[in-house]
Structure 1
Amino acid sequence: MKMPWVSGAVYGVVLLAGLYYVFAGLGDPHPLRVFGFVAGIAALFVLDALERRSAWFLIAKLALFFVVVALDESSLSRVLFVLVPFAAYLTFGRVIGLVLGALCLALLLTSFIVWVPGWYRDANYVSDVLMFSLGLVLAIAMADVAVRERRSSARLAQLSAEAERARMARDIHDSLGHHLTAVSIQLEKASAFASRDPAVAKQALADARESVAHALDEVRTSVSTLPGRTLVSALTSLDVNLKIEGDEPALDRATVMTLFRAAQEATTNARRHGQADRVSVAVTFGKADTRLVVSDNGRGFHTEAPNTGFGLPGMKERAALVGGSITVDSAPGSGTRVAVTVPR
């Protein structure tokens, strides 16, 4: 997970603090030293812009930290070293980040022990150590959050891919599965009756051709619902009584396909199995969701009856993939009503 603003923010604070120290007259800096300090910070910005995850870039950044700290008379720029475990954690993992964080703290303590005798009795130096330690803790914590977010994003992408594969499987089944099954059955029938009853075999071949034609129509319809076509325009291909309420928003492809496939499956079931002669589709585009209702005057069925096919179970699974739900109301002799609701 790229987090350029963290390093950039620290560089900016260090630059402002160093320049304030100079222009506020808190020291007696040399112009070349100030120039080198500013150039070092600029080099850090450039290095971060390149963003190469390798040990060499981390070493180069560490070297620039030493240069900037050496040129900064205010000594405030040593805060840059809290970025070492941060970058290492993101690049090489937790163990390396923690080890380098401990080394940075040890380096600070060593420098105080060597160049500042009795530093532990000076409140300012003790405060510096405590604040630097706190900075290390926060930097490592932020790196850990970034790594966890990166892993979560990868997992979400994987789940999205799995959901897309499941959706495509349902689309293939709903649009081609039953036609291909019919073709297979008719061809077997034609083969079986070829010598015994040529008329039956000929009719079976004709039925197979008709199923192939229907399958091609399904493919063309599926292609027509790709991005760029609205749900309403896709539903007009079903040849049903269509009623629309509200203005259609910019629905994503998965939602369009879910609603269209539900309408297609319900319409096919109504005409083929329910023997309905009147099928209507009503779509309501609300502020919170989109609702599609398919109603027919067919013979209906018992909704509690077990269903082992990919009809209603497949519709419900596809709706669940986009956060939606399906309800089915039907009874023998009373027609069927299928309602699909998908959140905006």
Structure 2
Amino acid sequence: MAWAGGAAYLLMVGLLVGGAPRASGTVHGVGSLLAVSLLVGVVRRNPLPALALVLFGSTAVVAGTPSSVHADLSVGYQGQFLSFLAVDLVLGFLVATCARRASTVAAAVSLAVQLLAIGVFAHGDNLTVNVVIALLAMAASCTVGLLSRERREHAAALRSQEVAEAVTAERLRIARELHDMVAHSIGIIAIQAGVGGRVIDTQPAEAREALRAIEATSRETLSGLRRTLVSLRQADPGATASERSPLAPSPGLADVDRLAASTADAGTHVDVRRSGEQRPLPADIDLSAYRIVQEALTNVVRHADTARCRVAIDYGDEELSVEVVDDGRGAAQDGSARGFGIIGMRERVALLNGHLSAGPRTEGGFRVAARLPLPARIGAPVEAR
């Protein structure tokens, strides 16, 4: 279909040259310029052959203009070489879409053909005017093509950067979820396994209780891992129906009591205190607050060497406050060098435009406190002004 347009273009050029021999150069030029619309398909698919066709057709139109018209300078000013504007249009598209080397060669060939045609068929002052016009028209078309190419390349670079940033953000999110989920469970399992190993001969009932705690924690961790993996696979178009099954709800602050119970099984009693109006929270805030408490309790179990800690959750009007405090041995720094726990907490809070403080207390122990902004509640009373 595209090459049918090329054949139609050549036929139109032949009609202009042979069918209207006494028409002015302007008529020939305008006709040739309009005829290039027949080459749209060829230009899109094969811009280089399209440029060759337009160069041939435009040169044929100029060469086919009657000699009596060439002698009329006014007609030369009006449009003797107007058909070469079609060449410039195709050249601009070629510069915008093709490789730089091919564009440079095409521009050089187009300029040489145009200057040669102008030198042969223009006369006197008409020669200078047409050379200047040809140079300006070609420079304008190449400039527009270069600007279009640069804008397209810039847009592609921005898209690539956005994709890379999205991939990095998703990797960090998955890393935080896996760390917060697995680190707490493995810590509980390790402690329970140690207890069971020490008392298995002397206190078999307590050893069985430790094994039951290990089993329950392991099952919960496997469930969480499966939920994470299914969430990742749901983006795969080839996922099976079972993999696309509805996910179990993500944990939230409502599960802190259960988290405290599992921590107590590991030997650290957790005192959970809630204040403010307890209400449903946005899923991202609810999950992040739970993960912060979970990671803080994991650090208490692993590093604090204490039998008690306190979790305080305050449902404020404008922000949610979460605090985990223990009276253990504390730390010399915020713990960031030990692993990724506090780093992950800081990332979670930063994504929600909140604030996190984590560090040893002057009176002993360690404190983790997070403040997460809450969206305005629908139907909340508005103060009169």
TM-score computed with the length of structure 1 as normaliser: 0.61
CA distance in 2: counterparts of 1:88 and 1:193, whole angstroms: 81
Deviations 1:94-140, CA, capped at 9 Å, x for gaps: 33323322332233222212322446753354233223223323322
Contact map agreement 1:189 1:201 (CA 8 A) in 2: yes
Select which of 58, 62, 74 maps to 2:51. 62
- State which drifts further: 112-121 or 68-77: 68-77
Q: 2:214 maps to what in 1?
A: 208
Select which of 320, 342, 345 maps to 1:315. 345
CA distance in 1: counterparts of 2:171 and 2:160, whole angstroms: 17
Counterparts in 2 of 1:335 and 1:190: CA distance versus 1, 3 Å: closer
Task: Give structure 1 stretches of 5+ with no counterpart.
Answer: 1-24, 249-255, 285-291
Q: 1:266 maps to what in 2?
A: 292
Q: CA deviation at 1:197?
A: 6.7
Tell me the SS of whatever aligns to 1:275: strand
Deviations 1:219-238, CA, capped at 9 Å, x for gaps: 587679999x9xxx975754
CA-based RMSD: 4.9
Residue 162 of structure 1 aligns with an amino acid whose one-letter code is T
Q: CA deviation at 1:338?
A: 0.8
Q: 1:294 maps to what in 2?
A: 321
Identity across matched positions, percent: 20
Counterparts in 2 of 1:101 and 1:166: CA distance versus 1, 3 Å: farther
**Aligned pair count?**
289
Tell me the SS of whatever aligns to 2:102: helix
Q: CA deviation at 1:167?
A: 1.8
Q: 1:179 maps to what in 2?
A: 185
CA distance in 1: counterparts of 2:194 and 2:297, whole angstroms: 26
Contact map agreement 2:96 2:148 (CA 8 A) in 1: no
Q: CA deviation at 1:41?
A: 0.7
Q: CA deviation at 1:92?
A: 4.3
Deviations 1:24-50, CA, capped at 9 Å, x for gaps: x987859xx95x875641440x456xx
Tell me the SS of whatever aligns to 2:310: coil
Question: Which residues of 2 match residues 102-251 of structure 1 at below 5 A?
Answer: 102-118=108-124, 121-183=127-189, 186=192, 198-199=204-205, 201-216=207-222, 218=224, 235=252, 237-238=254-255, 242-243=278-279
CA distance in 2: counterparts of 1:104 and 1:342, whole angstroms: 65
- State which drifts further: 111-120 or 168-177: 111-120
Q: 1:21 maps to what in 2?
A: none
Residue 54 of structure 2 aligns with an amino acid whose one-letter code is F
Q: CA deviation at 1:162?
A: 2.2
TM-score computed with the length of structure 2 as normaliser: 0.55
Residue 81 in structure 1 maps to residue 87 in structure 2: yes
Counterparts in 2 of 1:197 and 1:76: CA distance versus 1, 3 Å: farther
- State which drifts further: 332-341 or 170-179: 332-341
Counterparts in 2 of 1:137 and 1:39: CA distance versus 1, 3 Å: closer
Task: Give structure 2 stretches of 5+ with no counterpart.
Answer: 1-22, 66-78, 236-245, 257-273, 301-307, 376-385
Q: CA deviation at 1:192?
A: 8.0
Tell me the SS of whatever aligns to 1:305: coil
- State which drifts further: 307-316 or 217-226: 217-226
Contact map agreement 1:300 1:336 (CA 8 A) in 2: no
